Structures are given as C-alpha cells and as structure tokens.
Chains A and B, each alone.
Chain A
C-alpha cells in the first residue's frame, strides 16, 4: 500500500470515528428514546 493511500485511509478512519463520537457524546444519536422532545431556549439570566 502506498504511503499516500495509508495517510488517506487513516484520516478517513479518524474522520468517521470523531463523527460517531460527536454524535454519541453531543447529539444523542444512539439514545433510542421514544418520548417526544421539544427544545426550549434560554440565556442563563432571568
């Protein structure tokens, strides 16, 4: 395998793993929750 291909493949692996990690940690992708959700926005000030 050429070096360029190796760099490319390992970068793709990194990209997909960081995407999955982000989805899991910050976007609740893998939380199969059947309940309805609504986001309510606010600032930390009354």
Chain B
C-alpha cells in the first residue's frame, strides 16, 4: 500500500474499503463496546437509576470456583471437538481434492455443505431424535442384534460431542479442501518419480502445504464450540452445563446482563490467549 502515492488511487481505495469498515464498526465494534461497557456496571441503567461502575462482575469469576471449572470444561470440549473434526474432516478433504474428479466431486461437495443450509437448532433436534432411548439409532441397530439394546447415548458428553462435530465439520473440510486443491500436481509427480511412498508424500508434502487451511478450519471450529450453549443444553441433559450455558442463564434467567457480559469477555480473553499461545505454530504453518 505504501506505493499508493497517487491521490486518485488513494481516494478509490477509501471509497472501496469504507463499506467494509462501516459494516465492521456497526455490526462488530458497537455491540461489543456496549457489552464491554455493561460488564463494568452494577446494574443496567434502564432498570435502576442509581447504577455505578464496578469491577465486581470480574471479581465474581475469581471468587466463585464454579465459573473456572466450567470454563476449563468448555475449553476441553472445544479441544475434543476440534480434534475429532480434524481426524474426520481432513481425510475427507484429501479424498475430495486429490482422488475424486468431475461430477462425483461436485455431488460429494454438495453433500458436505448441505447440513449448513439447515437451521442449527433443527440439526440438533434431529440428533436428539436419533440418539434418544428407543430412538432411530437404537431401532436400527436392533435389526442386526438379537438382544434388547440400550446405548444410553442421549444426555451424555458423547452426545454433545457428536452434535457439535456434525455442526462444525464442514468448516474443516472446506478450508482443508481449498488448501489441498491449490497444491500443484507437478510437485506430487516429482516426488513420486523420486520414489517417495504415499505416506511420505502425505507427511512431507501434502500435510505441510495444506497446514494453513487446516489450522484456519481448526480455529473456526474451536472458537464457537468453547462458547456453545444450545447444543450442550439439548443433548447434554444433566451433564450439559458449560460456560456458555451459564452466560445464557445470566442473560435469560436472572437478567444480570453485567455479570453475563463480564463472563463473556473473560471467555473472549481466554480464547485470544489460547490463540496467541498457538500462534507460533500457526505462523510456522503459514510459511
């Protein structure tokens, strides 16, 4: 951009970029600042005339061990779901990008993004119907086994992980696919002509070259899963209390917006910290 000395060029740049920045200002910056402001209040100004500023909402995170426990539980959930998404999604993307060609690829691609077009709540409720006792999955398996089967999957952490992996898997597949597809076929040919085995090609060429895409997908999955509340609530039952559900309760059940906002910003800070710690790896992947 430093080369843009021409005044008309600069004007054009401002004109082209301003809608995007305006959008960021209105849709991201303003609501977030309002929430940040709320998080330092004792009460909401519209409810209580004598509101004031306090750090108490942030202090409550430290004084009540429940929040810390739940945050750790949510981070663990985020890591589990991300790992599962990578293990399932990356091989899918590999096959899609390197093996299948033509019409079949388009069809499979469509099938991968199809779940994205349905409402997430509908997806989770479908899982509830499949997983619950005497549900679709148990009935189906009973066709093959002679005894009365009880999987007891519903209302477990496994059910939550299944629902979340299904919801976020397309991110990993899409980003990995784009990175894998961009790899020049000639490089692979060259490696093969030098006698590299399939595993070596995967380990030394495909994986490092597609790492930026894979990492972008992992971040796209990890961040929303740590704050998820709807999926754990519906599929988790008794064990479905996470950091996200506690924040939701503050907004919906007790109307304590300041505390809910403070808890949200602590989550944001922790996620940013995790991404910062992981950034050396991410940067290495990008070079």
Chain A partners chain B: no
